[in-house]
Structure 1
């Protein structure tokens, strides 16, 4: 019923109405013409050869006295079938080549991309003639020739669209959930590039129609006694000065049909929108249980152990290491907050733990163990199975974290189908139950809705529910409350806390808001310039923080009793760029306590107490305000001088 309403809406527009009318006429002609006039179009009349247009023969007759108009109408079926078959070959081969870099090893993907780029440089008509010589003349050879000639452009187009999608958060979420590359391609990638592919394919159908007509005109396509519009055009051009109508007839047919295909592309984009027609809740097929590939847990109380974690990216000026020497651990049921300015390496640290750093990025660590399994040394399959069942990611932007073409319940159910061997029906019921557990009202109905039908806070709760579809040992929440109002922010944090209390899962909360972290976490890690500069209990953050940067972060947070007549306090200066870290302390240029020692030597994390570490040559004494934070007015005056 909904689809019928969409088609009615399209038909109400001039372009949509024209597309439907032309498409209907072409389709009806292709089906009925061979039945109604097939025999008459083949009947020769020696007494009426090479006649011009008349009331009896509107386009005249050919060299055997056959009616040209009837032959043009009958040729509609073969011409369209050949064009569609050629496009099908081209788009299937193009999709295979375009998505190959996402499935193959990096070196093999580069070879495929290079070959496609070389093929695209050649004109498609030249490629079609080349392949026609290889595959031979005739209908089958012509279809393969045109399909192979169209494949490079489809491959380039698919590769470009795929590259824009693979960086989205919902692709990363699927990878964290342990979904295989092939299933990510089928379930998440192709549905999201379906709309432009449909448009490109229908537009290409007009080009394929013209190309096949050209091959038949040159004698490389359809062979006698069969005929298509190209063959009829070849026959008509031989006597165009005597009877132009014989050539104009098939020409008009090609133009009108090509126009119909182009308008069909626009209509399909409006009506279909690339969305899957699968109805939520209908079991498709069960997935076989994934055999456990987990290593034995060495220490059941230790969920994550990170020692000297480094993330490096190549650049023209040499390797850049935005995360350099991060070390910490998370125990069972513990909540750790990571704070710092933008660019301090918080999110990169989380992505490295979740194994989401793509090549050419490199992740190295003296130790990176999750649930007793070394992530850097274990096989990819076992790591994917472990992370998919025991690690949950809550990304910063819930709108981009969900696949817009899939219903919420389907996306939640996918994780259980992959890792627990549940049927789609069982996984769907579990998805509804998990939505209820994170306080999503009307969970049954909401599970059948798309992400755009959820509010920001509801999407964030659904992301948490997705992480609970299995049994996570660790939940990484990367800026989960950004862009949410204070009320919704509090609700999301309460849900995370209730999940921790109910499942005993550890939480790694990444935030730029030090106040939020201090209120919801057990420990706080303060990061600056890719390193941890202070690690202390959250309960003593405001009273015992020793690093000047930590003190500055605390002091710039406005309080309810802050004098509104005074300018807000800020931290003067900017963090150093990842490729320009100084030899000494990275905070030295912004810290008024810095000395030559700070600028020459980088301090390591030293233990102030058994549960308190700080990396500073001149730590602030207990209870003192940060000397690094100053009012905005002072900073501006200094710049003006």
Structure 2
């Protein structure tokens, strides 16, 4: 206990210790001041008016003979209470104004930003004077004036902090679930920005105290017979040369109180920074196309199945035709996904591979309805379990995407809300879509954790995400996806951040779940060997376009597209010559805004021709696989010593 306390004392430092001591003195004056000195502060003694300091009157007396020390100590309560009320009003209004726009659409946010920029541009002091005049002279009007005047700046801070959280992975997962805007804001956004807001509020109290004293000083704040430090300063300032102690004492009290709250705020800032674990810091969801170093979300969502799927739901979990994703660019639209056509049968395991920036993750995000603004998704056909999300009303679309689609992203840590325990997060899907009571949802969550082989499920549900290991968090994300009965599981590089042993366990677990639930699995990865160990079929993407769609058996016999061949050759295996450098693909993938007129792989292809440079090859069936190439390679005989790929299997 002593070590723990000394560690915090060291972090707070001398400034924090002095601030804490000053706060205790202020609280003592606010609570006990009117009780101890209230009678002397109100006692009139005209014969002793305007006396200097003495043993009887430490700071002298005012024009009516009242003891100035007693009035300063008694005035502490009203000064501090009004400052706290004004801060609470301004911060509460600012939090609501700043957090709510983060759950609105693009147009709603733009309208809010325009209004808030106008409010911030208006001088806060002038706004406070206007409000004080309208609200009426007095303590109440001063509190309303300063609370309203401070709200825009507090709202801007809240909006900035909330924007950094609103794109996080756990917020995206909640959006898929169809969580209401109020629940999204109160449960997922505000708890993760509470610490900096509390620190700012502490600092704000000191500023409010000074501002309120200023309004009282000019006659717009506290009115007689009530008094605060600003009122006392105004009444006695004209005696600055004859009785400086009586004139300066209220001002000194204002300055000391302001310094105390500033010291507390600075110490709280240092303490929060020192204590905030890296696991609990919010991360941003990058736009698309994403930088290769940006973290990707990882979330599992599931719930109740919407009624009324079409007849194709029995055969296909996913049907996509001519899917495209376009973002506006400085010189025109940027096509990041181009004409993707993909069918996934129920119970099938399909892998999507490609280098970073190939469009594989953005394709998955488009299917899940998570493409960030201002991206635009178009498709000739898009069906999940036989239903087209684009034809449904917003609540039904959220129910479809949140109940029949489970999404598992790359980074298991950033996908959970760091401010909530695991149990509250795992039960959200069943509470939102199934309407289960919390106790029943908790039992279901424990069953799902047990299903994915998480030890001690009850204990894990009482822990925070950063208390779990990486592999355990990944299993918990899969359990979240199984809280309902998803038809489609989208796994976006679910093994990238894990060690090799845990990678194998997760791959086996996905295969077993596929066998048990008959849910289709769409696995995205840059590692073709991991994909082929799980999937029945492999889809290869390059520059936002499918270049080959091939089953694993045919892949073992040799892919047709040169890019797929290069991907396979770049994967080391047991038969690789250790004396030779690892195989690489020369050049780099083209940027979406720099796509060539013909085949996008042409600048890197060893078999390129003039036709490749001038015309884009169509995706057509050749030798039992779909391939987009003018010069496809013939199949080769399988080499039994080649361990680059293995046959797909669930376990």
Structure 2 SS opposite 1:569:
coil
Please give the per-residue CA displacement for 1:147-205, whole angstroms capped at 9, x wherever unaligned.
11111111111111111112211111111222222211111110111011001111011
In structure 1, distance between residues paired with 2:264 and 2:400: 46
Q: How does 1:87-98 map onto structure 2 within 5 Å?
A: 87-98=87-98
Q: How does 1:239-278 map onto structure 2 within 5 Å?
A: 239-266=239-266, 268=268, 270=271
Counterparts in 2 of 1:346 and 1:51: CA distance versus 1, 3 Å? same
Structure 2 SS opposite 1:373:
coil
Partner residue of 2:549? Answer: 535
TM-score (ref. length: structure 2)? 0.90
Quick check: 15-24 or 490-499, which moved more? Answer: 15-24
Kindly indicate whether residue 8 of structure 2 is the aligned counterpart of residue 10 of structure 1: yes
Partner residue of 1:286? Answer: none
Q: How does 1:218-617 map onto structure 2 within 5 Å?
A: 218-266=218-266, 268=268, 270=271, 294-299=307-312, 300-609=314-623, 612-617=625-630
In structure 2, distance between residues paired with 1:7 and 1:387: 49
Kept in 1: contact 2:195–2:272 (CA 8 A): no
Kept in 2: contact 1:195–1:274 (CA 8 A): no
Counterparts in 2 of 1:271 and 1:70: CA distance versus 1, 3 Å? farther
In structure 1, distance between residues paired with 2:387 and 2:264: 53
Count of residue pairs the alignment pairs up: 608
Counterparts in 2 of 1:384 and 1:7: CA distance versus 1, 3 Å? farther
Structure 1 SS opposite 2:329:
coil
Please give the per-residue CA displacement for 1:333-359, whole angstroms capped at 9, x wherever unaligned.
111100000000011011111111122
Kept in 2: contact 1:294–1:382 (CA 8 A): no
Q: 1:236, CA displacement in angstroms?
A: 1.9
Partner residue of 1:40? Answer: 40
Kept in 2: contact 1:60–1:246 (CA 8 A): yes
In structure 2, distance between residues paired with 1:5 and 1:236: 49
Q: 1:266, CA displacement in angstroms?
A: 4.5
Q: 1:100, CA displacement in angstroms?
A: 3.3
Kept in 2: contact 1:49–1:61 (CA 8 A): yes
Quick check: 326-335 or 242-251, which moved more? Answer: 242-251
In structure 2, distance between residues paired with 1:263 and 1:80: 16
Structure 1 SS opposite 2:324:
strand
Kept in 1: contact 2:471–2:498 (CA 8 A): yes
Kept in 1: contact 2:49–2:62 (CA 8 A): yes
Please give the per-residue CA displacement for 1:228-254, whole angstroms capped at 9, x wherever unaligned.
111011112121111111232222222
In structure 2, distance between residues paired with 1:218 and 1:110: 39
Q: 1:410, CA displacement in angstroms?
A: 1.6
Structure 2 SS opposite 1:525:
strand
Kindly indicate whether residue 635 of structure 2 is the aligned counterpart of residue 622 of structure 1: yes
In structure 2, distance between residues paired with 1:248 and 1:471: 72
Kindly indicate whether residue 36 of structure 2 is the aligned counterpart of residue 20 of structure 1: no
Kept in 2: contact 1:556–1:569 (CA 8 A): yes
Quick check: 223-232 or 33-42, which moved more? Answer: 33-42
Quick check: 415-424 or 183-192, which moved more? Answer: 415-424
In structure 1, distance between residues paired with 2:387 and 2:531: 28
Kept in 2: contact 1:294–1:385 (CA 8 A): no
Q: 1:5, CA displacement in angstroms?
A: 9.8
Kept in 2: contact 1:229–1:250 (CA 8 A): yes
Q: 1:295, CA displacement in angstroms?
A: 4.1
Kept in 2: contact 1:312–1:363 (CA 8 A): yes
Q: 1:43, CA displacement in angstroms?
A: 1.2
Q: 1:122, CA displacement in angstroms?
A: 3.6
Partner residue of 2:641? Answer: none
Counterparts in 2 of 1:291 and 1:481: CA distance versus 1, 3 Å? closer
In structure 1, distance between residues paired with 2:440 and 2:41: 59
Please give the per-residue CA displacement for 1:99-121, whole angstroms capped at 9, x wherever unaligned.
23223343232122122222223
Please give the per-residue CA displacement for 1:376-434, whole angstroms capped at 9, x wherever unaligned.
23212111112212211111111111111111222111221111112222222222222
TM-score (ref. length: structure 1)? 0.91
Kept in 1: contact 2:304–2:484 (CA 8 A): no
Kept in 1: contact 2:305–2:485 (CA 8 A): no
Q: 1:292, CA displacement in angstroms?
A: 7.3
Q: 1:262, CA displacement in angstroms?
A: 2.6
In structure 2, distance between residues paired with 1:291 and 1:331: 21
Kept in 2: contact 1:308–1:326 (CA 8 A): yes
Kept in 2: contact 1:518–1:539 (CA 8 A): no
In structure 1, distance between residues paired with 2:52 and 2:351: 87
In structure 1, distance between residues paired with 2:474 and 2:107: 37
Q: CA RMSD in A?
A: 2.2
Q: How does 1:168-183 map onto structure 2 within 5 Å?
A: 168-183=168-183
In structure 2, distance between residues paired with 1:585 and 1:619: 13
Quick check: 593-602 or 15-24, which moved more? Answer: 15-24
Q: 1:271, CA displacement in angstroms?
A: 7.0
Kept in 2: contact 1:100–1:109 (CA 8 A): no
Structure 1 SS opposite 2:391:
coil
